[in-house]
Amino acid sequence: MFNDRKVSYSGVQPSGNLTIGNYLGAIRNFKTYSDRYKCFYCVVDMHAITVRQVPAELRRRTYETLALYIACGLDPEINTLYVQSHVHEHAELAWILNCFTMFGELSRMTQFKDKSARHADNVNAGLFTYPVLMASDILLYQTDVVPVGIDQKQHVELTRDIATRFNQLYPDTFTIPEPIVVSTGKKIMSLADPLKKMSKSDENLNGVVFILDDKDTIIRKFKRAVTDSDTEIRDAEEKPGIRNLINIYSCFTGKTVPEIEQEFKGVGYGDFKIAVGEACAAGLEPIQTRFKELVADKAYLEAQMKKGAEEAAWYARRTLGKVRKKLGFTQV
Ligand code: ATP
Ligand code: LTN
């Protein structure tokens, strides 16, 4: 809460091209709060370097992620959109919160276990303390709600634990945030392996639909989606491929699962896959058009980045100042 206004905060890493998982699980829901809350949405470049990045690509994707935020309907005049490394208070608070986070807590984080297995040659300390930097992002802005996909819920819960521990020692420092996970879209699965989360850093590109894929590519990827040997379009645990396609169709059309099952009664998998691909392409088209205009205007994006960083820093400084005082740090 800041000045009687509730706060919504979230972030996306510029670690690859954004997928429909990022869009449906996170970015699309950022807008829900735009009218009523003070909203901060960040491009978390410092999180991205926990795995190796090519500098020129990181730079390009940072601009692109900001452009996608705007293209997805987040008005930079209303929402504070900024880049994490432009506000140094994040790194400063992260150090402090490291001293209030337990080794055991970080060891239990499933994303750390997954990523350290996937990047076994680079299990760096940043990958381990990643959730502490995320807690700093959230807590600096006295956040009430954090819209995320389900994979990030555990990190927000750890953030709550860190904030509660800190508040017990130093009362009234942080607002305790709430993770907001939508029911449809919270976990979009890979089209190539519907038991695996669709992820922008997946090696199998056939399973991943990018927000910027053109219509033909989208339809081709959906046509190849792995399903089962049955023929019925029905939402069931034992049909993870079809369940995922129904879920994606529901997200793009707003139709409920029973409505979709009814609509596709007696229809073959092939036609259903094309229908899902078409709904997805149609939903993404306006975003792609706006995105193309925005990335062509680097000066505009830079101006937004600068404005966002200045706004965010104002709030971040207030919280960090309070933390420093409570801890007993001196001020000159
Ligand atoms: P990486 O592959 O680099 O780990 P990612 O694709 O998992 O990246 P993040 O930047 O870590 O994406 O996530 C940004 C937001 O998108 C988070 O809120 C996350 O929960 C959400 N998200 C990512 N993938 C999915 C998905 N498949 N379904 C729903 N939400 C997702
Ligand atoms: N860890 C998140 C990205 C992220 C974030 C945040 C999300 C960084 N800081 C603060 C919500 C709030 C991820 O990997 N998707």
How many A from CA of 15 to the centre of ligand 1?
A: 10
CA-based radius of gyration for the chain: 21
* Largest Cα–Cα separation, the chain: 75
Nearest CA owner, ligand 1 atom 25:
21
Q: How confident is the model at residue 1, as a pLDDT? A: 80
Give the CATH number of domain 205-292.
1.10.240.10
Q: How far is the CA of 77 from the centre of ligand 1 (A)?
A: 26
Q: Which pLDDT value is given to residue 65?
A: 96
CA angle, 109 as apex, 105 and 110 as ends, to 5°? 160
- Per-residue pLDDT, 213: 97
Q: Please work out whether the CB of residue 26 comes within 6 Å of at least one atom of ligand 1.
A: yes
Instruction: Name the 3-class secondary structure at 18.
Output: coil
Instruction: Enumerate the domain spans of the chain.
Output: 6-187+298-327, 205-292
What's the pLDDT at 16?
A: 86
C-alpha 235/C-alpha 102 separation (Å) is 41
Q: 6-187+298-327 maps to which CATH number?
A: 3.40.50.620
Domains 6-187+298-327 and 205-292 share a fold: no
Q: What was the pLDDT predicted at 67? A: 97
Q: What backbone phi and psi angles, to 5 degrees, belong to 83? A: -105, 130
Q: What does the pLDDT profile of the chain (332 residues) look like in tens digits?
A: 877 899 999 999 999 899 999 999 999 999 999 889 999 999 999 999 999 999 999 999 999 999 999 999 999 999 999 999 999 999 999 999 999 999 999 999 999 999 999 889 999 999 999 999 999 999 999 999 999 999 999 999 999 999 999 999 999 999 999 999 988 889 999 999 999 999 988 888 899 999 999 999 999 999 999 999 999 999 999 999 999 999 999 999 999 999 999 999 999 999 999 999 999 999 999 999 999 999 999 999 999 999 999 999 999 999 999 999 999 999 98
Give the integer Cα–Cα distance in Å for 98 and 103. 9
Alpha-carbon distance of 284 to 40, in angstroms, equals 23
Q: How many other CB atoms are found less than 10 A from the CB of residue 128?
A: 17
d(CA 166, CA 160): 10
Q: Is the CB of 47 under 6 A from ligand 2?
A: yes
CB 111 within 8 A of CB 156: no
Distance CA 279, CA 3 (A): 41
Cα–Cα dist 211/283, whole Å: 10
Q: How many C-beta atoms surround the C-beta of residue 95 within 10 A? A: 12
Which residue puts its alpha carbon closest to atom 15 of ligand 2? 12
- pLDDT for res 201: 81
- Token pair recorded at residue 191: 């089209």
Q: Which atom of ligand 1 is nearest the CA belonging to 11?
A: 14
Structure tokens at 75: 């008005």
Report the C-alpha gap between 319 and 197 in whole angstroms: 35
Question: How many CA atoms within 13 Å lie on the side-chain side of 285?
Answer: 9
DSSP letter for 27, please.
Answer: I
152 CB less than 6 Å from ligand 2?
yes
The whole-number pLDDT of residue 7 equals 98
